[in-house]
Each structure stands twice: as structure tokens, then as C-alpha cells.
Structure 1
Amino acid sequence: MKVHIFGAASSPGIANYALNRAADVYENKYGSDAADIVKYHFYVDDELISVSRVEEGVNLAKQTIELCKDAGSDAFQFSSCVRERHSTRRGVLSMVSSIFYPLGFVSPYVLNAKKTLQHLCTNRSDWDQPFPTSVEQK
């Protein structure tokens, strides 16, 4: 699996599966201690373990971090499919309403469309009337 839906009910289970798989794959490279920490002391992205000596904890932390780094990158990516919409008040509302952005990364881009919609509503444009090219260029 290369991608999964952000916030899905299955997300914690998928994250734990990916961690366990990484521990299995990289156990020979980083040792069974690091793999056991990932397998039995992690939940999603939280680790909880206690050791008797500071040096042991630092060494295990370094091994665990390296194991997780080798497993893959920690990157947030998204893709979109833009459908052509009519240049009308209804089309702008449809486009703005169809965007799902739970973390708000795309808010600066959506804001321009919302401002255009606000302008069209303030001017009481008809829902299906094409708007002027001056508005369309914004």
C-alpha cells in the first residue's frame, strides 16, 4: 500500500501494520532489540519503553529511529482531480464545496475562490449567468 486516506477509521491499524512490517524487514540490519521496540512498544507514532540505563535508552532510540527512517519517508502528499466547471456562480460554489482539506494546507488557494464567490453573491449575480472576464481572471 502506497497511500491511504487521512483520518480513516482504519488509519491506526494501517500505521501499526506498516511499523510491524518495517521491523520484520529491517530486524537483521538494526537488531532484534530495535525490532522488538517497534513491534511491541509502539502505537501509531507513540513509543513507550523503560530501560535501566541512559546509555541503553539512547542506543535503542538511535537504532529505532534509523530503522523507521529506512522504512520510508514521512511525507504529506495529496493529489487532486480538477474537473472543468462553468464560469458561473453555481460553478464556483460547486468547486469550493467539493474541496476537502482537513489540515488547511490548501486554504490560501481556496480563499481566492471564496472571495470570488462572495463578490458574485454581493453583486447578486444570477446562478447560471456567466460572470464577466474581469472576475474570471481573478
Structure 2
Amino acid sequence: MYLQVEVRKSDRPYLRFLWNTDSQSAPDVYEFNRVVFGLNCSPFLAQLVAREHAKTLDPEFARAAEMMLESTYMDDGMDSVSTISEGVALYKSVTAAWKGAGMAVRKWLSNAPELLGHIPREDQATQLSLNGDGPSQIKTLGISWLSDSVMFSFQAVIPPDDMMMTKSNILRKIATIFDPLGFLAPVIIRAKILMQEIWASGATWDKVLPVELSSRCRQWFQDLLALSSIQVPRCLQAIEGATPQDVELHVFEPSDAKRYLMTFLAKSS
């Protein structure tokens, strides 16, 4: 994606690099003319170009532009349609829209096999079973999607038993839990509260925490094993024919950390 975005000539001197095949002579000076990996502004530049392209699309690509602007996170796009024919139309429209920017859309995946039948196999995503015998899943938006059952699932890697419980190590491990949709907020809030207490204790970055705090942190990491049992429906909608007037989110926090639940309630008139 980055290499499809051209850098204007006035900015290319800031992307210079040296190349030398002969140590006896002066190196040659080159300039990148495309957005490169490793530059901290590259994600922003790629997203800016993608969004500006979507805004200039013709009305015939209105649905594709909506997906590109409202349902795309970095280079992952997720959207929903009601019928196979709508899905095929969206696939063709999005493919053509991105082609106009010189970009190819790949790794398509759907819970409807009929829809995948309209997409070349080389452009489809390859699903993997993380434990070898479980349901197929693919990573998207930082979380796992079980396309067969249309569920989001979660996996967490707990630290080894011999990890030193220091402020820096704990914060580093907490940051590995990527939850852009907020499904794990009831779990992550416990870690944030622990970090507040660690800061209040005056602990330095690399000093081992007191036994009581260390024990509670280890327990929180152990509780993360229960995340694999949580599945959240990908599609959330009211009963057919009903129009929700008010939508409420209810979060329950039982004393047992392994039973964290998130339920959604839609009121229909």
C-alpha cells in the first residue's frame, strides 16, 4: 500500500540514502520517490491518500466509498450486507474503486461460501486454526474472527512465571492486549486500576513490586486465559422488521473474573 503512494519531488530530499558497492569510492546518493516502510508518518500518509481518493469517487461508487471511509481500519475493511447479491456488488465496487488508486484488494473473507465463490481463490484470505484442531479463524483489527460462526474471539499470551513484576514489565504486557472495539474493557479496566495503584506506591520502573501488588498482577495475567472462552457476535441487529429507538450497553462484573460478560440490549418500538 505504501509503495503505491508517490512522494512529491520537493519532499524527496528528506528521504535520501547512500549506496556504495565500492568502498574505495564515494557513495551514490539516492532518493525514495514512494512512501517507505519505517517512516513514522507513513501510515498517516497512506491513510490520507486512501481517504481523499474515496472522497473523489463518482456517485456510482458511493457504497464502496462508504466502506472505505467508515468501515476501514488501517488496511483492514469490514462491512456487512443482507444478501449475496449485495455482497457481490460491494466486492466488485470496492475492487474497482481501489484499482482507481493503483491498489489491489486481497484477503477477502466472508461467512457466506456462496459469496466467496464469486471471488478468485488467489484473492481470498487463508484461515488458520490457532490450536490445530479448533475452528478456523483469521486475524482482523487485532482480534480473531471465526468466520464460520460469525464470532469475534480473543487470545492472550500470559507472561512466564519467572517474569519480574516491575512497573515497566507489567505495562509492556498490558499494552500487548489490542482491543480497538472495546470488547475487553471490563477486563482491561482492572489492569488500569492496578497500574494506578502501582504508580501511587512510588515504585520505580525496574524495581520489583511489593508482594501484595505482584500477587494481584500475576492473578490478573492468569485470568487472561479465560479470554479464549469469550465469543462476541460479529453482527448485532434488531429482529427483522423492528426499528431500534434506543440502544443500551450493559456491562456486568461478577466477583469471578472468569465470568466477565458484555451484553447488548436493543429496545424496539
- What TM-score do you get using the length of structure 2 for normalisation? 0.28
Structure whose residues are more often helix by fraction: 1
Structure whose residues are more often strand by fraction: 2
- What TM-score do you get using the length of structure 1 for normalisation? 0.50
